[in-house]
C-alpha cells in the first residue's frame, strides 16, 4: 500500500506549480475528494479493459476476490436469489452448486443474460435450465444475482470471483484537528491508504491535479492531458 499522506503531499507539490494561491484554500477533505475521484476514474477504466490487457490485470490483482460464496436471500418457484457482497464492483466468474433428486450435486457455470434476452432463453429448448446439460441461467437485479432453475433442480450455493471496490483514501493525520468530515458527512479520524501496489498511484495524483485545475477554470488542455492516463489501457497487450 502507498500511504495516503504521500499522495496528499505529492498532490500539493504538483498542484503548487499551477495555483499556489488556490491551493491555500483547499482543505484536507477537498484534497481527499479529488484523490478519490481520480482513483475511481482510473479503477473504473482499468476494470473495463482488464480482460484484454495483461498489464492492467496486474494493476488490479490486489482487488480480485476468489471463490466468494454468496448469501442466499430466498427461493422462488423458478429461481433463487443471492446477495452480492457489499464491496462488489465487477463480476469475473460465477458458478452454482446444483442438486437434483437421485442425481446428487455438481458445480455448473452460470450463464448471465440481459433481462430481455433472458426471457427468450428461458423458453428456448437449447438454452433453458438443465441439470443434465449443465445449463443454468442468471441475471443481476436490485437484490443481487437471480439464478434460474425452472423448478427442475435446486441451487444450494453460488460462488463468484469478482473485483471489489478499492477502499476510500483518507488522511486525518494531515488535518489540523486530527479529524474531519468527508463529503458524505462522515467523521474521519484515521488514515486509509492507497491499495494499488503498482506505480499507478502517480497517475491518481496527476489526474487529481488535473481535476482540481479544471475546477478553478483551467480547462484548456484538461481533455488532452487527462486522456493520457487511460489511452495505453485501451491498447491490447
Question: What is the arithmetic mean of pLDDT over 187-200?
Answer: 92
**pTM confidence score:** 0.85
User: Does residue 134 contact residue 107 with C-beta atoms inside 8 Å?
Assistant: no
pLDDT (tens digit per residue) in 107-133: 999 998 876 677 676 777 677 888 999
pLDDT (tens digit per residue) in 43-54: 999 998 888 877
194-203, 212-221, 226-235: lowest mean pLDDT where?
226-235
Asked if pLDDT for residue 204 goes beyond 80, the answer is yes
Average pLDDT, the chain: 87
Cα gap 24→6, rounded to integer Å = 18
β-strand pairing of 170-171 with 154-164: unpaired
Cα gap 26→33, rounded to integer Å = 11
Q: Which residues are within 8 A (CB) of 13 and not within 5 positions of it... i.e. 6 or more apart?
A: none
Helix, strand, coil fractions of the chain, as percent rounded to 5: 40, 30, 30
Cα gap 165→81, rounded to integer Å = 22
Question: How sure is the predictor about 236, in pLDDT bands with cuts at 50, 70 and 90?
Answer: very low
pLDDT (tens digit per residue) in 3-46: 999 999 999 998 877 666 666 678 999 999 999 999 999 999 99
Name the burial class of residue 237, with classes exposed (0-12), middle (13-18) and buried (19+) by CB atoms within 10 angstroms of its CB.
exposed
Count of H-run helices and E-run strands, the chain: 6, 12
Helix, strand, or coil (residue 18): helix
Question: How sure is the predictor about 234, in pLDDT bands with cuts at 50, 70 and 90?
Answer: very low
pLDDT (tens digit per residue) in 80-96: 999 999 999 999 999 99
Cα gap 228→14, rounded to integer Å = 17
Phi, psi angle pair for 176, to nearest 5°: -70, -30
User: Does residue 145 contact residue 70 with C-beta atoms inside 8 Å?
Assistant: yes
The predicted pLDDT at position 215 comes to 80
Q: 217 or 72, which is more confident? A: 72
User: Does residue 196 contact residue 19 with C-beta atoms inside 8 Å?
Assistant: no
User: Does residue 151 contact residue 80 with C-beta atoms inside 8 Å?
Assistant: no
Amino acid at each position: 500500500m502507498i500511504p495516503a499522506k504521500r499522495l496528499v503531499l505529492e498532490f500539493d507539490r504538483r498542484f503548487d506549480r499551477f495555483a499556489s494561491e488556490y491551493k491555500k484554500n483547499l482543505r484536507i477533505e477537498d484534497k481527499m475528494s479529488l484523490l478519490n475521484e481520480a482513483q475511481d476514474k482510473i479503477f473504473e477504466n482499468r476494470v473495463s479493459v482488464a480482460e484484454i490487457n495483461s498489464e492492467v490485470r496486474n494493476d488490479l490483482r490486489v482487488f480480485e476476490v476468489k471463490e466468494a460464496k454468496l448469501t442466499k436471500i430466498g427461493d422462488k418457484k423458478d429461481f433463487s436469489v443471492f446477495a452480492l457482497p457489499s464491496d462488489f464492483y465487477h463480476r469475473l466468474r460465477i458458478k452454482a452448486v446444483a442438486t437434483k433428486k437421485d442425481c446428487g450435486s455438481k458445480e455448473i457455470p452460470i450463464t448471465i443474460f440481459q433481462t430481455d434476452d433472458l426471457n427468450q432463453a428461458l423458453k428456448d429448448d437449447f438454452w433453458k435450465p438443465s441439470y443434465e446439460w449443465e445449463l443454468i441461467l442468471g441475471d443481476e437485479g436490485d437484490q443481487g444475482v437471480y439464478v434460474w432453475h425452472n423448478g427442475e433442480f435446486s441451487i444450494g450455493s453460488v460462488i463468484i470471483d469478482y473485483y471489489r471496490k478499492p477502499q476510500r483514501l483518507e488522511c486525518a493525520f494531515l488535518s489540523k484537528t486530527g479529524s474531519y468530515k468527508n463529503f458524505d458527512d462522515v467523521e474521519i479520524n484515521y488514515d486509509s491508504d492507497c491499495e494499488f501496489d503498482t506505480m499507478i498511484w502517480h497517475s491518481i495524483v496527476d489526474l487529481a491535479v488535473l481535476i482540481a485545475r479544471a475546477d478553478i477554470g483551467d480547462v484548456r488542455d484538461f481533455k488532452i492531458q487527462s486522456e493520457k492516463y487511460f489511452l495505453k489501457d485501451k491498447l491490447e497487450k
